[in-house]
Amino acid sequence: MNRFTLTSKIRDVYNSPVGRDVIDKLILQLGLSEKLLKNPLAMNMKLGTLSARVGGNADEGFNDAILGLLNSEQNDCLKEPPDTERKWWKESLFYQIYPRSFYDTDGDGIGDIPGITAKLDYLKELGVDALWLSPIYDSPQDDNGYDIRDYRAIDPVFGTMEDFDNLLAGVHERGMRLIMDLVINHTSDEHEWFKQAVSDPESKYRDYYHFRKSEGEEPPNNWKSFFSGQAWKKIGDSDDWALCLFSKKQMDLNWDNPEMRRDVYEIIRWWLEKGVDGFRLDVINLISKTDGLPNGNDFIGKMMGPRGIEHYFYGPKLHDYLQEMRSEVFEPFDAFTVGEMPGIGPETGKLLTSPTRRELDMFFSFDHLELPGKAKFEDYIYDAAFLKTYYTRWMRNYGNAYQSSLFYDNHDNPRMLSKIDPDGKYRDKLAMLLGAIQFTMRGTPFLYQGQELGAVNTAFSNIDEMRDIESLNLYNELIEKMSEAEAFKIVLSGARDHARVPVQWDGSKHSGFTTGEPWIKTLSDGYDAESQAVDENSILSFYKQLAQLRKNSEALIYGEVEILRTKEQIFAYTRKSKGEEYYIECNLSPNACSRPSKRPSGKLLLSNYPEQSKTMREFEVCIIEIE
């Protein structure tokens, strides 16, 4: 492949995986019209002209950074036939548990492992096949467990190793599987390796991390942290600094060190020998950093994430390390992996998950969580019609050949229901509509605890009620520039705390989550599991039906998806396989409209409205079996 320069044509750039993802990202982040770039004239434009048009040229280093990224990948866009291999993780319904907020059995106000075991029958009944546990390892809990102190121990706040073994046995007895959250881009600063690296600069552990020297208060480079401020921790009053892309207690590991990698593989092997079925790999695309850790570009930082991100979101050795890790530990155990990969688009995603390249099985993309041109900490109403644009692009480019992960909620974002419908006017209808898409689109659905009950955002009234380090750091940064009320409003719009309040189990005090004082505010609004379990029209009952429908359908799991041409607010598609065919029709808007005139006829299997009428009502969904 030729090297890209500023005189390369956009057409050629668009045919390279990084180029296509970068251009699509530009369109998304800057909220540009697709037509502006994807027309024959624009495709003939030179890269340098595009860069000037989007404003990149104004920023020194932008062109170099983009060229560096484009030239880092030698592959063309992958064109592979659909992957039809049958795998348990393609057929499964995953359910993410945030243990701290799931269910508390010992009354300390914090959810625990016995609490998860106690609810296994609930999960089985819902139709869940596999659990993903957010971290339960020993940790100072600076970032609620994503800062691991000891990978081979359970944090006492969640229970004991015996509790974990019981949980795993309970999961397997019920024919379900369990995957752990593996945080190996960084460790806690209280991890033994880091402690030794600091106390003895000559120790081998020094090179397990990114230590650099810099005099005074200026850090070694200009990278920013995902959690506000600089991405460096100054070590005491020395000139030594260590890289930390998240909190000041989450120290980035140096993946270029082979001994460190071997030690990480030992940890993974240890858990696999225990019998866990796989891992969700935390920010795994960040593990490889550009040699020398050069300064980041401002423009790219504003567009894509913290300054410096172009030097590690698709780093030079990412593929090598993933391939090595897979062959060393995942493959021998036939373990499943899903990577959390902020910034990765469908084309680079293919290179990272293609079955023939042997890296990861699946990955999470986040491009649907905000509208084009919008950022997480922006107060706006999410227009659900964007989901049609997103899935159309995604299914055409990725979804029919690879296995997509399908999700709306997780522990890092406010609830999707509240983004689309902040007043909750259509709460039930919308929860059912989103679930229906998630279970009938091609890919593996991941529910996040509470989604099956219609959980919405929490009405936090001030910053003291929030617990998350990202919210608190951002608030402290913002109040330097604006009033407390303004800062709180911004934090509230994107706070992770919303999804971290306890699950509502019943109508008792604290929604039955704990008999003690909960670690964070609880939301008790009647959308609890106990009352929904006995109501056949509830969101929970609808999700159970969706799960059963998908489980028993070859077409909904392996069938191709075809998206039909309809007016903007209607999202209609078919799924088919070997004589089994479904038609799914969704109104993605809070306004009623007429039904598509041409539609296949068949038997209505499931809808969020009791009967079909001539018009499609607000957020209506129908799942029809074509006869």
H/E segment holding residue 448: strand 444-448
Is there binding between residue 412 and ligand NOJ (CB under 6 A)?
yes
Whether 282 sits among the annotated catalytic residues: the reply is yes
C-alpha of 540 from chain center: 23
Is there binding between residue 94 and ligand NOJ (CB under 6 A)?
no
Question: CA distances (Å), 334 to each of 89, 329, 358, in order?
Answer: 12, 9, 12
Write out the binding residues for ligand NOJ, residues 549-578 only, by CB under 6 A.
none
- Do the Cβ atoms of 423 and 375 come closer than 8 Å? no
Report the residue number, 366 or 609, with the smaller CB distance to ligand NOJ.
366
Report the residue number, 388 or 411, with the smaller CB distance to ligand NOJ.
411
Is there binding between residue 407 and ligand NOJ (CB under 6 A)?
no
Report the residue number, 16 or 185, with the smaller CB distance to ligand NOJ.
185
Report the residue number, 241 or 246, with the smaller CB distance to ligand NOJ.
246
Is there binding between residue 281 and ligand NOJ (CB under 6 A)?
no
CA distance 585 to 574: 9
- Do the Cβ atoms of 305 and 224 come closer than 8 Å? no
Binding string to ligand NOJ for residues 137 to 166, with x set by CB under 6 A, is what? ------x--x--------------------
CA distance 380 to 322: 37
CA distance 365 to 351: 14
Whether 331 sits among the annotated catalytic residues: the reply is no
Chain position carrying tokens 């598609």 = 573
Q: How far is the CB of 327 from ligand NOJ (least distance, A)?
A: 25
In this structure, what token pair is assigned to residue 584?
């799914």
Q: How far is the CB of 146 from ligand NOJ (least distance, A)?
A: 3
- Do the Cβ atoms of 418 and 457 come closer than 8 Å? yes
Chain position carrying tokens 């919210």 = 471
Q: How far is the CB of 286 from ligand NOJ (least distance, A)?
A: 9
Nearest alpha-carbon partner for 152 in 272, 258, 282? 272
Nearest alpha-carbon partner for 599 in 569, 622, 568, 576? 622
Q: How far is the CB of 30 from ligand NOJ (least distance, A)?
A: 25
Q: How far is the CB of 511 from ligand NOJ (least distance, A)?
A: 23
Q: How far is the CB of 132 from ligand NOJ (least distance, A)?
A: 11
Report the residue number, 98 or 103, with the smaller CB distance to ligand NOJ.
98
Report the residue number, 67 or 97, with the smaller CB distance to ligand NOJ.
97
Report the residue number, 54 or 251, with the smaller CB distance to ligand NOJ.
251
Report the residue number, 411 or 442, with the smaller CB distance to ligand NOJ.
411
- Sheet with 177-182, edge to edge strand ranges: 362-364, 336-340, 278-281, 177-182, 130-133, 94-97, 444-448, 405-406
Is there binding between residue 171 and ligand NOJ (CB under 6 A)?
no
CA distance 252 to 481: 29
Nearest alpha-carbon partner for 130 in 329, 276, 261, 262? 276
Given 27, 183, 309, 570, the residue binding ligand NOJ (CB under 6 A): 183
Is there binding between residue 282 and ligand NOJ (CB under 6 A)?
yes
Q: How far is the CB of 72 from ligand NOJ (least distance, A)?
A: 23
Q: How far is the CB of 147 from ligand NOJ (least distance, A)?
A: 7
Report the residue number, 185 or 569, with the smaller CB distance to ligand NOJ.
185
Given 113, 283, 395, 447, the residue binding ligand NOJ (CB under 6 A): 283
Residue 499: CB atoms within 10 A of its CB come to 26
Write out the binding residues for ligand NOJ, residues 228-247 only, by CB under 6 A.
246
The one catalytic residue in 143, 252, 340, 470 is 340
CA distance 251 to 191: 9
Q: What angle do CA 141, 142, 143 make, to 5 degrees?
A: 90
* Residues paired with 615 in a beta bridge: 594
The one catalytic residue in 181, 282, 468, 585 is 282
- Do the Cβ atoms of 261 and 295 come closer than 8 Å? no
* Residues touching ligand NOJ, count (CB under 6 A): 9
Q: Which residue is nearest to ligand NOJ (CB)?
A: 146
Question: CA distances (Å), 370 to each of 342, 376, 383, 387, in order?
Answer: 13, 7, 9, 10
SS3 for 130-151 is EEEECCCEECCCCCCCCCCCEE
Question: Which are the contacts of 32, defined by CB distance < 8 A and separation ≥ 6?
Answer: 26, 54, 372
Q: How far is the CB of 192 from ligand NOJ (least distance, A)?
A: 19
Report the residue number, 139 or 397, with the smaller CB distance to ligand NOJ.
139
Q: How far is the CB of 75 from ligand NOJ (least distance, A)?
A: 27
Positions that interact with ligand NOJ (CB under 6 A) = 143, 146, 183, 246, 282-283, 340, 411-412
Which residues participate in catalysis according to the annotation?
A: 282, 340
